Structures are given as C-alpha cells and as structure tokens.
Structure 1
Amino acid sequence: MSKRDSNNGNSNFNVEVVQSNQELISEKRLGRKRRIIMITGGAIVFIVGAAIVAALVVLSGSSNASPLEKEAKAISLEDYIDGRLNPKSFNGTWISGNEIMYRSQNGDIRVYNTDTLNHEILVSFHATPILPRAVDYSLSADRKFLLVAHDYQKIYRHSYVAQFTIINLKTFGTSSINVNGEVILQLAVWGPVGNAIAFVARNNIFYQPSAVSFSKQLTVDGHIGNVYNGIPDWVYEEEVLSTNQALWFSPDGKKLAYGKFTDTAVKIMTLPVYGEPGNLDFQYTKAVQVRYPKPGTKNPLVTLHVADLETNSDIELPSPVNIANQEPILAAVAWATNDIVSAIWMNRVQNEAAIVMYNPSEPVSMLVINNMKQSNGWLELFTPPKFSKDGSKFLIIQSQDQENGAGAYRHLTIYSTSSNNPGKPLTSGLYVVTEILEWDEENDLVYYQANMPNASEVQHVFTVSTSSLKTKCITCNMQTLSKKLSCSYNSAQFSKDLSHHVINCEGPNVPETTIFSKNKMIDVWESNPELQSLVRNVRTPVIEKLKFDVPGGFKANVMLKLPPDMDKSGETKYPMLVNVYGGPDSYQVVDRFNMDWGSYLAANKTIIYATIDGRGSGLRGDKLMFSLYRRLGTVEIEDQINVTRQIQKMLPYVDETRTAIWGWSYGGFASGMALAEDTSRVFKCGISVAPVTDWTLYDSIYTERFMGLPTPGDNEKGYDNAKLIEKYEGLRHKNYFLVHGTLDDNVHYQQSMLWAKVLEQNDILFRQMSYPDEDHSLGSVRPHLYHSLEQFLDECFIDNEI
C-alpha cells in the first residue's frame, strides 16, 4: 500500500538508514541459487488526474525481455493450485545465540551453526518411525530431549489433536506422553527450564517435572465442549489468542498461568456431516456441535489462574473492577518476573481495556497499570506485553495521537510497572508499528517492524533507543542478492542473545532469506531458486499501484495486476475482476510477493485483477480505519463501487461493460453488498465465497468489536443496515454466484442458506455451489472451485471477447 498526506508530510519520521554488508557474499558463491527475476523497469509513473496518483512497478512483459521471456507461456492454474508459485520461507527456530534448528528437505532434524556454517544432524529421518509422520517438534530447554507431535488431526484453524513422543537425544529411545494409556493429546509444551512438560488431554492440564517422570493432573473440571483448561474454546482460538495454547510458564518454570473457558452457557451450533458416498456409517447424516457465541448471546466465562507447580496450589486471579461487570475478555497474558504475571482485560465490546499486574500469592495483589477507553472505535491489544529482564518496564503497541489533527497511529509504547501511568510513546509519525521483535536492553535498543510515511505498502525492520528515541532503519537498503533489486517488504527473527538475526525479504520480488551477524550478512538461508526459475520462464502480470480520492479527505490504495504485453492505448478493452476483502483493519495492497489466482487470470486470461483498500482498512491510522465503526457494509462498500467506477473512467483500456467483483468470507459479504448496492451497473457480475449475510449470525467477539450489540439500546439499526439478506432486490437481473462449504465452522453454511432462501422466495435467479463437508478454506476442492469460478467469469465476460 502507498500512502500520502500532503498536509502532514513525514516531518515526524527522522530515520537513520543502516548500511548492510551484503557485498561480502561474493557473486560466485551465490551462483544460480541466488538468481532472481529481473525487474526491467523500476520507474515511478504518476498518472495525474482529478483524483489519481499511480506508482508503477514492472515485473514482466518489458521490451527488454529476452526472447525466451517473450515467447514464454503464462503461469497456469495448476502452478497456483499445486503451490509451485509459493515461496519457501524461514523454517528454522533459534535455539541459542548462534544455532538454528530446522527440518531438512530429506526429513532430518538438524542444527545449523552460524559461526561455523556447519549443519549437524540432531535426529535422522530414519532414526525413528515417527519422524515421517511428524507435524511439529521442539527442543527441551536443556537440549536433552526432542518433543515430536505426530499423527495429527485438525480441529479448527489452530487446534488439533495428535500423539506426542519424546526422543532421548543421547540414546534415541522414545516414550509417548499419555494419560492412563490414552495417547491423543490436545497440546504439549516444554517448560523454560530443564525438560519439564505441560500438556492438555480431554481439556485438563497435566504436568511432568521431567521428561522421564510421571505426570500429575493440575485441573479436574475439564470437559469436552463445556470447560477448557489451558486451551481456548472456538471463539478464543479464532478471535483472541490466535493459537491453540492458553497456558504460560513463569520464567523459572515453577508456576503455570492458564486460562479457563467455561462454555456451558454458550449456545450450540450444529453442523451436518454427510460422510463419504457409499459408506454405511453415514447412512444417517451425522453432526458436529460447536459452542459458538453470536452477537447478544452468552459469551464464554473466562478466568485466569496460576498453578504453583511445587506446592500444587491453584489461585484464580480476578479481573479488574471496571471490567469485571462488563463480561470481560482475557486478551493477553505474559509473565513479568518469576513471581509477577500480567494480563490485559477488555470489556465485551472491546472499547475499554485494563493492563494489570498480579502477584499470585495469598492474598492476591493486583495493580492496574493503565485503563484505556476508545470512544470512536475499538482497542486492539491482543499481543502480550514484552517485558524488560527485571520486569520493571514493558512494551506494547498502542494508538497515539499525532500532530496537526492527523489522528492516532499505532506506535511503540513503554510503560513502567511500578504504578498506574499512561505510558510513553517511543515512536511517532504518520506510520504504523506492526510488530515488536526484540528488546536489546544492553544497547538500549528495541527492534520492531513498521511501514513508513506515505508508503503503507512497505514494511521494514527498525531500531529505536528507549532513551534518545533515535530511530534507525535496518532494512531500507536491502536488495535481492544477484540482481540487486529492491526489498521493500521485510521481517526478521533474532537469536537468543540478539547477536544474529534472520532477514526475510518478502517482496516485491521472489523472496529471499539471509542470516546476519549484527549488520554483516554471513549466509543465505533460502533464495527460492526453483521459484525464480519458474517465474523467469513464464509470463507474469505487470503490477501497477494507484491512489484515488474517497470521502473524508482519504485516499484509497489500489493495486492492478495487468496482463503482460497488454495494449494500454485504449484500442483494446480488457475485462477487470475486483478482488475485495474490505474488513476492518485489513489490507491487500502491500509489496509482499504474491502469485495468486489473480496473477493467473491476468497472465493467462488477459483479465485485469484489482484490489482496493479504502476506508476501514489498516496501516494508515485510526481515522481511516474507524470510518466503518458500528456501520459495517457502508463506507467500505461505497469505496469498492466508486473507486472501481473511477478506474473505469481514468484508464482507457478497462472495459466498463465487463467488470466483476469477487470475495471470500468478509470479502464474500463485501462483494454481495457491492453488487446489491451498485445502482449504476459498475459491476456486471459478482461472486461470494463463504459470505457473512447477516452479522447477527457471526461470532460475538469479532462482530461486537466493530458493531457493538444488536439491541435497541445499542446498535440494532447498524446490524439491520448491514444485512445482505435484506438487499435481495439489488441482485435482480444481475449475475451472481454463491459458493459455500457445508462444514464451515467459521462462517456457517446457515449464512448462505438463508441468503439463498431469500433470493429464491423473491424469484431472483443466481448460481450456487455447495461443497459437502468442506470447511471455510475449501482446501480439498480447490481445482473444482477455481474451474467453477473461471467458467462463471468466462460466461460473464463473453459478450465482448478481446
């Protein structure tokens, strides 16, 4: 995404750029594995009009292309579906200051030493029969044992059940973690000291003081579907914690904090399971039951506990008074010291929060560090605080007001833990901090990731001094290794002592991963040579970025994927497909490498593929993002329609009679709403995959964050206005394709069934595809899905073929 605010500029963003010694790796050493597709034109093109500024980045189709490139075939649908266009990324875990553990291509678990550049086998692929079935592995703190998860079965987005086996790294003997012979577990994690283990079975927490000792049960009230200890229920997994883990060891491993989620009052959603054809076990349809809270209904009751692993005591920690009577949400947990644990609590609709420090002894002491309120939006505080070594300070990302009426932007903020205080911003300016990486207290530096003023599409790695507030950019001069092309979207992972780090150049070109010692590059982890070769020898889209005015003084960011070698004179008209997501704080226009279905359509089907980040999107401050607060389905939909209309009028090669829109999940809702609200026929047809059609049917924590409650005293009118199922008349005489999986635990099939029922009752013709027993991702039917979508688009665009 690109961002420009002519009134404020970048006066608050004074950054020193750090030079990296990439040249120390010789071109000869890089060899073929380091080659990357050449960008033949890196020019910035500005198309000046009433409301448009465009930046052009050419990825292919240049007049300087080699004969092979000019005659190359386009990327195929199979290239996309089979994953051949997906780059490999960093697949290691730092286990010391100079060592990375990883799984090699042949399945060995190995350790790479950044000082010697040697790769040693920790466990051979053939050493035990469980490694071929492994889905995850981790090393004990004392490095004597390896914990392997295998025979995995997915539950929801992050959760699964599996068997967990411990491998003795000296003898290579194995032992299975079990409870009375039951080997199917929901979670198993090492403690931070020695080789202690905490694990969850049948919603109860167990603890083993060592890998070879017997386990003891810490909780007894766990019950599948009702009470969850140490693991989240469905809504906390999906919307709050974004993981299958809800337990946290103290740094010395002597205490264990955990969340308890009581779902007995949460209503059940029943999802049908049809089974395999011909299987008599499914002669009668079966069902999956999910405790799924919807807006205005009962949420899970959450409590925070600390178990003392030496005394076997268990203490419940109270939520703060100002939150306790507002159906509290446990947003994040982190230990400050061996004895002090912190929690972030939020009220039900997530516009109030409290950061709390606890001493979990009898009686429990509690200190509220800060109470926060957001009157015109929501709070986003789901990342645990990062504490100093002595626990006296911590870092979070928090919205901070900027100068000249620019509003608030999310910035790095430091707090003291000694008293109630408002915190001190360490960074400032018209940009957004996206992640806190590490805190180097010895050198007074915090490493973090952020975009830049007027350039929300980029992401770089920075440092800031907590004392002087001086900021440095670590990756602003990063380039690809062989062709010296720009790396404008970067991320990093640091070693245990911060002496080494990995830099991931994620785009806009084929990604590369390199290893640094301080600011000196010492090795290349991944250069994606196969993907480089594939992209170099096929026709790929040309990417063009643009900006358009939208109401409120904002700009919409637009990215177009254009057919290679297209005629831009206007003599030839090309169909266009708009891919919309549009949800609050979402974004699509970034410099990350992404060869998706739209890339295939642009290169192979000569369809222009557009994405539009308008009002409500993230990375550009709270004012823009909060534009849709309590009114989903309004401004973000208006911007999709109006910006598309502007694209049609400003670009002579876009065929305004052959423009379509499609989206998935929130994007399915947005595409349906755009088609229904489009009174001037901007879109000829539309596709909704797994759409929300009525926000009272989606989950409570997500929906209420942005909409409040669906009650007359709160925001009933906002919910009513956002009901796609009430917009049926807008689809009359329009081409519409509705797609959904019947076993979708996230956006239930119910949403599409009620939408289809309304359309049918009102005699509105549409096309529908239902995928039996498929979840939200439609993962096992992708070929059929994309062939179906492509056929629909062919029919939509057939009137005026190029």
Structure 2
Amino acid sequence: MTGNAQSNGSSNLEIAQSNQDLIMTKGKRKKRTWIIAGIVSAIVVALVVAAIVLLTQEDKDDDKKVIEEGPALSLEDLLQGKVNPNSFNGTWVTDKELLYTDASGNLILYSLGERPSVLLASDELIPGSNNFEISADNNYLKVAHGFQKFYRHSYKARYTIINLRNTSDRIELHINDTYDFFLVVWAPVGNGLAFVMDYNIYYKSNVTSEARRITNDGTFIYNGIPDWVYEEEVFSSNKALWFSPDGTKLAYARFDDTQVPLMVLPIYGEPGSMIFQYPKANVIKYPKAGTRNPTVSLHCVDLDNLSEIKRLEAPSNLETTQSPILSAVSWATNDTVSAIWMNRVQNHAAIVTYLITQASYTMETIIDLHEQAGWLELFTAPIFSKDGSAMALILPVDQQNGLGAYRHVAMLSRTSNAPIEPLTKGAFVVTELLGWNHNHNTIFYLANTANDSAVQHVYSVSVDTKETQCLSCGVKSKNKQIDCLYNVAEFSKDASHYVLTCAGPDVPHISLYSLEKKVIDWNENKELQELTRTKRLPTSQRMRFDVDGGFKAQVNLKLPPNLDISGNTKYPMLVNVYAGPDSFQVVEKFNIDWGTYLAANKSIIYATIDGRSSGLKGNNMLFASYRHLGTVEIEDQIRVTKQIQDALPYVDGSRTAVWGWSYGGYASGMILANDNEGIFKCGISVAPVTDWTLYDSIYTERFMGLPTIEDNFVGYHNANLLLKFEGLRDKQYFLIHGTYDDNVHYQQSMLWAKVLEQNDILFRQLSYPDEDHGLGSVRPHLYHSLEDFLDECFIEKESN
C-alpha cells in the first residue's frame, strides 16, 4: 500500500499524492518508499519545536515581501507539474562514470575523472525514452520503448539494442514473432542478456547469439518476475532474477499462482465504441487475507549448462502451513547465494546462504530471527564485504533503558548462528543502507536523528572502529542558504563517490561528491526556486503533542499567508491522514501539494499527524497497533486534532475536516465513525480499505495475523469499517474510488456504499470508470470535486 504518506517498509497502501500507492516505502519498499511520491512537494520553512512555536519575525517579514506581491499558487501549477523538483537524472555505470540524458535528450557518459564526457547516443536514437542501460563492456545500449503498463512496477516493452561503436547497427530484440518482454537485464560481465517473455526466462550469452530458453512452464507460473502480490508488497520491483557477480550463474524466483484465487476487474471502455458494446474484464491472481498465497521457490542455473537447474529449498524451521515468503535475494560471492525467508505472518525469518557446486548445493542458516511484539522488516537484501565473509543489513537492536528496539546497521559473519554485531546505536532509525567502501571498510547509510525524527542525514560508519560521521550535516540549500535537513544519496559502485540530494526543507538541489570534497553542483532547480519566490505560499509550523503510552505525536501545519494569529479570524482546518503502520508524513522534505494550494488560495490550515504506529520513532511506538488496526492510530488522529483546536486560537473547531487515500481513506472513515465529540465536521475517503479480509494477504497479515478464530478473528472484526456505519449518521461524507483499482478493489467501496444506503445514511459518492488506484488521468476533476465538497463543508452559517 503506498501513497501520500511515506514508508520505511515494503508495504504499499496509499495516500494523497500524484502517484498513489498503499505503502512502505521500499522505502524501499524503499526503496520503499510507499518510499512514497506525490503531486509533490511543499515549501516548508519549519522549525523543530516541542511546543507551539511560530516562525521568527524576521522569517515572516521576508516571506511577506514575496507573499504580498506575488499571485497565489494555482491548482494548474500543481497539475502541470511546475512545482515538481527535478530528481537525479543519472545512473552510476562505474566507480567514476554516470549515464544521463541532457536537456536536449542526448545520452551522455559523464566522467568524474580526467576522461572527457562522451556523447553515446543522440536524441534521435532514443526518442522519448528514459529507460536505457549500457552493457557491462560499454559496447551496447539497451533502449526500452512501446510500454504497456500492467501494475505499479510491471510493464511490457520493446527493446532496441544499439551498437555504440556503430550506432547504425541495431537489433530489435525478439523471439520468433514476439517483440514484447516483461523484463530484459544485462549480465554483469560482457553483453549477455536475460529476459522474460510469456512468463518464461531466456538467456543470450551475447547480443548476437541465439536466445536459449531456461524455463518452460509460464502462464499462472511466473518465472523471473513477481506476481501481483510480490511485486506490490515484497520486491517493489518487476524483477525476480539475479546474476552472479561473474555472470556465470542465474538465480531466479518462481511464483506458482495456480491455486491463488482470481479477482475480476471490469473494463467499461470508451464511450461510443462498439468494441465495448459489452463490458470486458481483466483477471488477476490476488490473494486476500487468509486465502491461498502463491507458492514461491528459489532456483539457480549454470548458464553454461541450462539443463542443470537447482531448486534451493527454503529452511524447514519456519512455522508456516503454506509456502514461506521469499523476501530478498542477493549473491555473496560468485558461488554463494543469500536469501531471506519469512513465515506467512512475517514475524519469523531465516537468513540463509546456498553454496552452489557443480553437482548440488549446501544450505547454511546464518541467523534465525523472531519478533514477538510485531513484525520483521526484512525486504532488502544485505550488502557484503569484499570477500563475502560478512554481511551488513538493517536489524532491530534493543537500546536498553526502556527505549526498546530501533532499526540499526548490523553486521553478521557468514557462519551459522552468528551473533549480531550492531555498528550503530541510539534512539534513531536507520532507513537505508547505501553502500560499502571496501578500501576504507566503511558503510554508508541514511538515518534520522535522536533529537528529531523528521530530519534525515547521510552517514558513514567504520566497520573496524564503529566511528560514525555525518556527510550531509552542514550542507546549505542553494535557494535560501538554510540547512539541508532531509537528505538522500546514491553511491557509486565502489562507494567512492556519491550523488547527494538536499531534499528539503528548501527547494531541492543535487550535487556530486567524492569522499573528500564536492565535485560539481548537478541541478539546482532554479526554475522552481523562482516559482517559490514569486508565488504566494503558506508557511509551516511543526508541533508535538503527547499521546497515550508516553509517546509524542508529530504534527505539521501549513498555515495560510498573512495568518492572523490573534484569534479574531477563524480558519478552517483539513487533516490529511494516512496513519498506516510504519508510514510517516511529518519530515523536513520539500513538498508543494494540494494542501499547499488550499492553504495559499482557500485560507485552509492543512495538517498532518504522525501518531502511534507511525515509523521513524522505534519499535515501541511502531508496534502500538499490531494485530488491532483501526484503534490507536485512529484515536491519536482524533485526540491530537482536538489538542490543535484547543491550543491555537485561530483554528475553527466547528470547521475541521479529514481526508485520506488508501489506508488514509480507511482512516478517515474510521475517524468519522469514532468521533463522538464533533471534532470533525466532514470527511473524505479516496480508495479506502473498508474490510481487511478484502485486502491482500502479505500486507494485511504482516500487521494483523490471520482472520481465523484460532488467530485474530476478533482483531479483523473490530477493524472492520463496514460495521461502523452508525458513526457516520448526520455527518458529511464523500466516498471516491476508481473502478479499475487493482490494489484496493472497487468492491471495498461498493460494500461500504451498500451498508450506508441500507441504513439510510446520506453521503456523496464519486466513481471513476476504468481508473486505477492513483486516479492519474482524472486529477483535475478529482481536485475540483474535492474542493467543491470542502466549500460545502466549510460554509459558515449566518448567525440569527
């Protein structure tokens, strides 16, 4: 599940942003993310405060000069992408070389060393494509085009292979008369290729050689690519095959969906088209909570002898009655595959290695992990030392003194039952491993800070001494010369160079660094800088409020320009909720979104709240809603909103609304249903989950267990929005959903509408025919509809 909220995990339920996803990360779910993207990004001039603190007078005066002179941010600015910051447009090819497209669409190989940059292909060779990759020997370019989108990460495409020494020499990749492929990847050595067609894997030892088939059973069996639920909730990718470092072997996952139930998605078609005189339908294999999961297996093939395919068995000690979950795969050495296996409900995991020999293989369990109070977040493969004898990954580590566990960089020796050796410690969360420089024996990672969970920096830690260093601390933004408080990075192959993105709170900028110094400013987003100087924008205020359990909820408010803080003017407030497990919204990341527009144009205070079960604050707070979704995370949204109303004299407590997308849509419905004090006047649910037995198995069971009497039937019953209908009586409610939503099915909203209608509860409803979870092609209509509903909700009644 993924959306407006971001996430650390592999889950992908979604929120109110341009790319809606139900989520965790990958952030990974990184890598989710669910992390997460959006209409994008808000100008955040935020102070980190433990109580209510407004911007300094100097900052307010500076903003006023711009605000009073410039026009307000328009909805068209958002819909046309004018507020979207440029992200890094390159890919590391070697330790000191980047592949990128310039402003004219030409493909450039940029060198950080003494070698000059090289024009590899003109825009005429790769018209309109941003999906290309150079072979390991730098002789060929793979260009994808003619995309047919399937799900969040998957698609079919056609591939042209261009000889870079003679660009007129091109090959259109095909097998017989088939030119469309699910996946095409280069081998790590030379110019060999592995690719997936019709759910089977093929291999070419080089570009001009004959294609050879490796598997021959694809249909409802997926080889080398994930099925729907693994793509969405585990790999966050369309790829499920992995070359050995020397390119001589290929590991791949096989997903047998034969017994997985089918979900039917209707297609209504184009108005007036006789092709759709009768509606059509697509079907997907979609396991719901408690139903049959795909049967996954891991295999390895010697690419010199394709008939020798070894099935690498899962460890037998995982307590699961069905196929365990394969959550990550990587190679430790040329002969050793590493895999992470989990039980069905994802609270027991085994990290194993397979030593591949010509005749067979030997499996060794490196560590067996259990989590009694929650779930394990192990959806990213470990990184390895140069000789493959040790691995680094992110694991929960108890910080003692009642702090509980936080996710930290940990080392494991590649020996059976190896002890965990934490390399970092403290009341902060490591969110991503970035690379391992073997020359300096240093690991790089992203983490927030103990003082402020909303701040993220790039760090290094010495494997030998455990000494840490912050690489991004002290970096200033280009626009306002303020500290970069939210940073991300991409490291080169040997982690000797990196691309640093100062992602907030000011307008993002991107720079290239060696480990010793900055090499070049890559992109300063100057057009966006100018827009933020000329448009009337809100300011931001950060706050913290106590919630039950001794925790603090994080709050961010987008405040209308020229706010009257005296209380003489009362402003309506809209709470944007996500509230899914391990998600977070309150971070120091640049973000101009629909809420920014509402604050600037409609004088609506736009609030986000991270309460219990949100990420970035340790496992004690994270696991607060484990096995009982729809309880404490909902309570915190209600109670903290009330505290905001009471604390700020300019908030109109009689005109407060809530809205959310995906998990946030579920949360907004539950908030209205559980609000017995009239804190919220109205609410909006976009693509909501309404009954957790109707959502996918891997996401739901991670947080809820199984919907059986023996396990957690009561938890599912209590979390069921369909049973809370009476709480919406006499409240203004707007329900929105796309009929072709493959993630949160339209069925969820239809059953919710049916319950409300059967109980004579009035509400507004909007269905978007043939739209998926993100509602991407109807955004203007969507936001105008939302705004119309809010106008009705926030209308002030005249006093008699």
Report the TM-score when normalising by structure 2. Answer: 0.92
1:42–1:599 CA distance, 2 compared to 1 (3 A): closer
Equivalent residues in 2 for 1:249-648 (5 A)? 249-312=243-306, 313-323=308-318, 325-327=320-322, 328-361=324-357, 362-481=359-478, 483-648=480-645
Q: Which residue of 2 aligns with 1:8?
A: none
1:150–1:624 CA distance, 2 compared to 1 (3 A): same
Gaps of at least 5 residues in structure 1 are 2-36, 47-51
Within the candidate set 113, 137, 160, 1:142 is matched to 137
1:56–1:96 CA distance, 2 compared to 1 (3 A): farther
Within the candidate set 205, 227, 232, 1:233 is matched to 227
> What number of residue pairs does the alignment pair up?
755
SS of 1:575's equivalent? Answer: strand
Q: Which residue of 1 aligns with 2:792?
A: 795
1:748 aligns with 2:748: no
Deviations 1:406-443 (A, max 9, x none): 00000000000022213211001000000111111221
Give the whole-Å Cα distance in 2 for the aligned partners of 1:107 and 1:340. 40
Q: Which residue of 2 aligns with 1:659?
A: 656
On the 8 A contact 1:155/1:161 being kept in 2, the answer is: yes
Deviations 1:357-389 (A, max 9, x none): 102333321100011111110000000010111
Q: Which residue of 1 aligns with 2:214?
A: 218
Within the candidate set 674, 691, 711, 1:714 is matched to 711
Letter in 2 for 1:106: S
Give the whole-Å Cα distance in 2 for the aligned partners of 1:554 and 1:325. 34
SS of 2:485's equivalent? Answer: strand
Q: Which residue of 1 aligns with 2:676?
A: 679
Letter in 1 for 2:360: P
1:174 aligns with 2:174: no
Letter in 1 for 2:348: E
Q: Which residue of 2 aligns with 1:704?
A: 701
CA drift of 1:104 comes to 1.7
Within the candidate set 83, 105, 114, 1:107 is matched to 105
CA drift of 1:99 comes to 1.6
Give the whole-Å Cα distance in 1 for the aligned partners of 2:604 and 2:779. 20
Q: Which residue of 2 aligns with 1:28?
A: none
1:43–1:491 CA distance, 2 compared to 1 (3 A): closer
SS of 1:603's equivalent? Answer: helix
Give the whole-Å Cα distance in 2 for the aligned partners of 1:292 and 1:188. 25
CA drift of 1:59 comes to 12
SS of 2:254's equivalent? Answer: strand
On the 8 A contact 2:310/2:360 being kept in 1, the answer is: no
CA drift of 1:103 comes to 1.4
On the 8 A contact 2:426/2:450 being kept in 1, the answer is: yes
Give the whole-Å Cα distance in 2 for the aligned partners of 1:402 and 1:801. 56
Give the whole-Å Cα distance in 2 for the aligned partners of 1:456 and 1:365. 43
1:67–1:666 CA distance, 2 compared to 1 (3 A): closer
On the 8 A contact 1:133/1:151 being kept in 2, the answer is: no
On the 8 A contact 2:66/2:536 being kept in 1, the answer is: no
Letter in 2 for 1:80: L
Deviations 1:650-696 (A, max 9, x none): 10000000000000000000000000100001000000000000000
1:150–1:627 CA distance, 2 compared to 1 (3 A): same
Q: Which residue of 1 aligns with 2:153?
A: 158
Give the whole-Å Cα distance in 2 for the aligned partners of 1:794 and 1:801. 15
Give the whole-Å Cα distance in 2 for the aligned partners of 1:630 and 1:516. 45
Give the whole-Å Cα distance in 1 for the aligned partners of 2:321 and 2:43. 56
Q: Which residue of 1 aligns with 2:88?
A: 90
SS of 1:112's equivalent? Answer: strand
SS of 1:83's equivalent? Answer: coil
Deviations 1:535-555 (A, max 9, x none): 110111111000000000000
Gaps of at least 5 residues in structure 2 are 6-41
1:623–1:42 CA distance, 2 compared to 1 (3 A): closer
Deviations 1:604-645 (A, max 9, x none): 110000000000000000000000000000000000000000
**Identical columns (%):** 57
CA drift of 1:64 comes to 3.1
Deviations 1:682-711 (A, max 9, x none): 000000000000000000000000000000
SS of 1:185's equivalent? Answer: coil
On the 8 A contact 1:61/1:539 being kept in 2, the answer is: no
Q: Which residue of 2 aligns with 1:192?
A: 188
CA drift of 1:502 comes to 1.1
Give the whole-Å Cα distance in 2 for the aligned partners of 1:533 and 1:513. 17
Give the whole-Å Cα distance in 2 for the aligned partners of 1:336 and 1:684. 56
RMSD across aligned C-alpha pairs, in angstroms? 1.8
Give the whole-Å Cα distance in 1 for the aligned partners of 2:583 and 2:320. 31
